Structure 1
Amino acid sequence: MNMSCRRVMFLLVIAFALGSKGYSQSLVPAIITFGDSSVDVGNNNYIPTLFKANYPPYGKDFINHQPTGRFCNGKLVTDITADTLQFTSYAPAYLSPQASGKNLLIGANFASAGGGYDDQTSTLNHAIPLSQQLQYYKEYQSKLAQVAGSTKSASIIKDAIYVLGAGSGDFLQNYYVNPLLNKAYTPEQYSSILVGIFSSFIKTMYGLGARKFGVTSLPPLGCLPLARTLFGFHGKGCVSNINTDAQQFNKKLNSSAASLQKQLPDLRLVIFDIFQPLYDLVKNPSSQGFVEATRGCCGTGTVETTVFLCNPNSPGTCSNASQYVFWDSVHPSQAANQILADALVLAGFALI
């Protein structure tokens, strides 16, 4: 089944489900998000860090062509998912002024660019650690109860979809460049540490009432323009050993998820496979109408990270990001995010 057919099928199911309710609303009450730059919608705008995307050309294809703190030219996969689930607005970044009052009823986003499963990754990058995101979530629960009342609040917490997107920074911005880690642990050992943190996080969230989780796998890290530039030694293809490390992590993540499902009653936990659809896109971009999959659209397209992030002075930002698989050296373009969202849409149905 091709991606457009999947999306049409999913939308038909949604239409049927909404129709059976007899009124028009989103299919789940809220989307609550944790993780790194793949899902950050602007929390880093409010903390002292180099990882910011609140200036052009970020957001040039987003609503009103405004930068918001999303590391993309337009919508993230989570935004497209919210659209599909019939949300009319997006859950706010928790540190933003918008995260108050009735806006909290549709969820909140706690993600922080430069973060990861490993709190040390966040500390190195001056991002919000996952442990702190969890503390903010507890604070959010209290605020939600004040806005909605205890009964409705409990219902929102139980029926919300929880999204977790992390891990890339743990490898690219910590493990591979940190001798204290890569001399002490093999990639497989470090993966086990990260997956242990993931498991503890899910158990803690479950204890706080969360039941439906969508967690992204690692992408093909060795295919990201940044990895090709820094670790590829000028080779033409993806960096195979880094992709192997990502696949090992994903295998452990899936195994841990299966174990958690057996341990925790009523838990719905879906691992969204980002690796294969993005790898396929990089290997055969023209099959989906893309022309460039080895470098990002903005700036040099090879090393835009931290102080090298895209900015108005970056030379050579492309005029049509929809032809590029990657927006900057790490993050997919909105057009690629649409492909990824379409690939994940049926797997996500298990959460509804």
Structure 2
Amino acid sequence: MDFSASIFLVIVSSMMLLYSANSQPLVPAMIIFGDSVVDVGNNNNLYTIVKSNFPPYGRDFANHKPTGRFCNGKLASDFTAENLGFTSYPPAYLSKKANGKNLLTGVNFASASSGYYYTTPKLYHAISLDQQLEYFKEYKNKLVGIAGTSNASTIISGAIYLVSGGSSDFIQNYYINPLLYKAYTPDQFSDILIQSFSKFIQNLYNLGARRIGVTTLPPTGCVPAAITIFSSNHNECVDRFNNDAVSFNNKLNATSQSLVKKLSGLNLVVLDIYQPLLDLITHPENNGFAEARRACCGTGLVETAILCNPKSVGTCSNASEYVFWDGFHPTEAANKILADDLLTAGISLIS
């Protein structure tokens, strides 16, 4: 982060402290859709191997217990909730915590291995984005029962919505699925994903959402698992994957701008995680990290979900020195930096 961005972050943080002095969050609720980057435990309740509700996941989280987050501690969305003034995080919709007054300040529908392409969640028995929208409809009805029609409407229209998708579509489906990569070029596949994204946003808008932040693809060619599996030189990022991500992100920006023009009152902001994460990976020492190639869990190669477990050989003792926790997901320390960048990028959602 450069000097001007740092100054801006300080100003924004100061503003938020002033606004939240009365202990009220800056928005009535935070509602989350997407994949493993923001899943806080919905997959715990599914018949799927893509879970993280066991050690060493969560070892640096509250009470040092796993929750279903694919991280050693907090996700970027958790830090975002804190930045917005919330004292708790939106609960996983399928968890026991998602009931009563806990629903008033938001909920999390995200499911690890979900995505914009319809077969991605099917492959891993995850919750599709279409099903997440169906759960959102249920949630709206529950909200009316708890808060009344008028208050529920205010919560829905004033909430901030966070959407994360696309990574699983490429890494866990397209790149390893000959039925896809032989049928579509990466450019054609990204077009299909963008069409799905556009439809999702329009459906979410029709259900009352007005302030939506959508994350870009990260530098998918630089995650440890991608380098290990696909790179001819196991110490370098896979350039073609990163190029695909940049192309997708450009389309995401253009489509989002088009949707804003089309849908009256929509505030849709693209939250770039590509460049901030690439900066951490290429210059880890500038942000206090010692390791960006290997992940903390086990060997840091392909470990994620069941492959990251207490018996993983070589799991690091200090995750704060690592950019990646497992083969795909950042550590809490990296998530904190990403969340600060999301704050500056998404300030228009709360202003």
Specify if TM > 0.5.
yes
| 1:83-128 superposed Cα distances (whole Å, 9 cap, x missing partner) | 1111001110000011000000011100000111112100001111
SS of structure 2 residue aligned to 1:53: coil
| Paired residue total | 348
1:250-261 to 2 correspondences below 5 Å: 250-261=249-260
Partner of 1:298: 297
TM-score of the two chains, using structure 2 as the length reference: 0.97
SS at structure 2 position matched to 1:38: coil
Q: Percent identity?
A: 57
Structure 1 position 5, deviation (Å): 3.5
TM-score normalised by the chain length of structure 1: 0.97
Q: Does 1:204 align with 2:199?
A: no
Q: Which secondary structure does the structure 1 equivalent of 2:212 belong to? A: strand
Q: What does residue 313 of structure 1 align with?
A: 311
Instruction: Please give the alpha-carbon distance, in whole angstroms, between the structure 2 residues aligned to 1:140 and 1:96.
Output: 13
Assess if the C-alpha contact under 8 Å between 2:52 and 2:306 holds in 1.
no
1:325 counterpart = 2:327: no
Aligned-partner SS, 2:346: helix
Report the Cα offset of residue 18 of structure 1.
3.8
1:17 matched to 2:15: no
Partners of 2:209 and 2:151 in 1: CA distance:
14
Cα separation, 2, equivalents of 1:296 and 1:228: 12
Matches within 5 A, 1:265-276: 265-276=264-275
Report what 2:343 is aligned to.
345
1:167-220 deviations in whole A, cap 9, x for unaligned?
100000000011111011000110010011110111111111100001000000
Q: Is the 8 A contact 2:162 2:213 kept in 1?
A: yes
Detail structure 1 runs of 4+ shifted over 4 Å in the superposition: none
Q: Which residue of 1 aligns with 2:44?
A: 45
- Matched to 1:272, the amino acid is L
Q: Which runs of 5+ in 2 are unaligned?
A: none
Distance 1:7 1:61, change over 3 A: farther
Show structure 1 runs of 5+ residues with no match.
none
Counterpart amino acid of residue 30 in structure 2: I
CA distance in structure 1 between the partners assigned to 2:242 and 2:327 by the alignment: 16
Question: What SS does structure 1 have at the residue aligned with 2:214?
Answer: strand
Query: Cα offset for 1:152?
Result: 0.3
What amino acid does structure 1 have at the position aligned with 2:311? N
Give the C-alpha shift of residue 227 in structure 1: 0.4
Q: Determine the structure 2 residue equivalent to 1:5.
A: 7
Q: CA deviation at 1:11?
A: 1.5
1:13-58 Cα deviation digits (max 9, x unpaired):
1133345xxx321000111000000000000000000011101100
The Cα of 1:299 is off from its aligned counterpart by 1.1
Distance 1:336 1:145 in 2: 38
CA separation in 2, counterparts of 1:333 and 1:120?
28
Name the SS of the counterpart of 2:270 in structure 1: strand
Map of 1:149 onto structure 2:
148
CA distance in structure 2 between the partners assigned to 1:95 and 1:16 by the alignment: 35
**Contact 1:4–1:342 (Cα < 8 Å) also in 2:** no
Letter in 2 for 1:70: R
